[in-house]
Amino acid sequence: MTWVGRTFRASYKFVLFIFYVTAYLSISYLGRLYFRSERKRREFHARTVTFVVSRGCKMLNIRRRYINVPSAEKSFLLVGNHLGFLDILVLASLRPTLFVTSMEMRETPLLGLLCEMGGCLFVERRNRLRILTEMEEIRSALKDGFSVALYPEGTSGDGSRVLPFKKSLLMAAAETGVPIKAMVINYRKINGEPMDHRWRDYVCWYGDLAFLPAIWRLFQLKSIDVDLSFHDEIHLTPDHDRRKVAALVQGIIEMHYDPIPFPEGEAIKPAGKIKESN
C-alpha cells in the first residue's frame, strides 16, 4: 500500500473516530445529567462504552477472539497485561466493565474526559496515603456487581515481556466475595501478517509517543487480529500476602502471553511514561 493509500485510510478512519467520540461524549453527558445514583450512572456509562466501542472495533477492523469467556452473571476483578489503549477497546467491547486508571490520565486533555465519561475509577499513584480510599472505591464497585479491570504493570509496555506488577490494588478483591480473574491479550496478526517487531509500534503505546500520533498510526492499518483469553480465578482473603498474590497472577499471565518477536541482537526499548491504566 502506498503512502497515499495509507493516508487516505487513516483520514477516513479519523473522521469516523471524531464522529464516535462526539456521539459517545454526548450520550454520556446526558446520562450523567439524568442519573443521580452513582451506581446507575456507572452502569449507564459502562454500557455506553461497550455500545460505542464495539462499533469502533468494527470500524478499525479489529477481529477479536475471546477464549474461556467467564460468565456474564458474575463480577470479577479482571487483571491483565497491558500494551496500549487497544487492550481497553478489546475488553470493553466484550461486556460493560469499569476500568482503573490514573489521576494523570484524568488530567490529560481529551483522554481524561473520555475516561471520566466512561465511569473510570481513578487512582493517585503520586500519593501513597490515598491507597486505602482507592481500594475501598474499587471494592465498592465490585460489591455493586461491576466487573473492574486492573492493569497492575502500571504502564503500557513494548510487548517484549510482562512488566513487574504493582501489588496493593490487587487486594481490593478481598472481603468482597469477588474473585480475581487473570486475562491475557495477544496480538496475532496485523494486515494479515503474523505479529512481529515490525508492527509493534502500531499496537503498543509506550515511551514518549503522544496519543494523536499513536492513533494516526493505528488508523493506517487494514486489520488487527487479537486474542483475549481468560484464565484462573483467585479468591482472596485479607490474610493473603499481596506479594504472593501478585507473583501468582503475574505467573499465570506470563505463562499465556506470547512476547512480540524481535530480531536477534536488536536492542529492545524499555517501556516509558505511563500511558494508560495502572
Residue 199 forms part of a structural domain: yes
Residue 275 forms part of a structural domain: no
pLDDT tens digits, residue range 220-260? 999 999 999 999 999 998 889 989 999 999 999 999 999 99
Q: Is the pLDDT of residue 52 over 90?
A: yes
pLDDT band, very low/low/confident/very high, at 111 (cuts 50, 70, 90): confident
Instruction: Count the domains in the chain.
Output: 1
Residue 265 forms part of a structural domain: no
Tell me the three state secondary structure of residue 37: coil
The length of the chain in residues reads: 278
Residue 268 forms part of a structural domain: no
Q: Are 125 and 278 in contact (CB under 8 A)?
A: yes
pLDDT tens digits, residue range 94-105? 999 999 988 777
| pLDDT at residue 272, rounded to an integer | 36
pLDDT tens digits, residue range 116-163? 888 898 887 666 667 778 888 999 999 999 999 999 998 888 899 999
| pLDDT at residue 276, rounded to an integer | 36
Domain of residue 159: give its range.
3-256
Name the strand (E) or helix (H) holding 227.
Answer: strand 224-234
Residue 274 forms part of a structural domain: no
Q: Nearest CA to 218 among 90, 31, 117, 32?
A: 90
Residue 119 forms part of a structural domain: yes
| pLDDT at residue 270, rounded to an integer | 42
Residue 180 forms part of a structural domain: yes
| pLDDT at residue 229, rounded to an integer | 98
pLDDT tens digits, residue range 178-225? 999 999 999 999 999 999 999 999 999 888 888 888 999 999 999 999
CB-based burial label for 121 (10 Å; 0-12, 13-18, 19+): buried
Residue 106 forms part of a structural domain: yes
Q: What is the CATH number of the domain that holds 118?
A: 3.40.1130
- Cell digits of residue 172: 481490593
| pLDDT at residue 210, rounded to an integer | 84
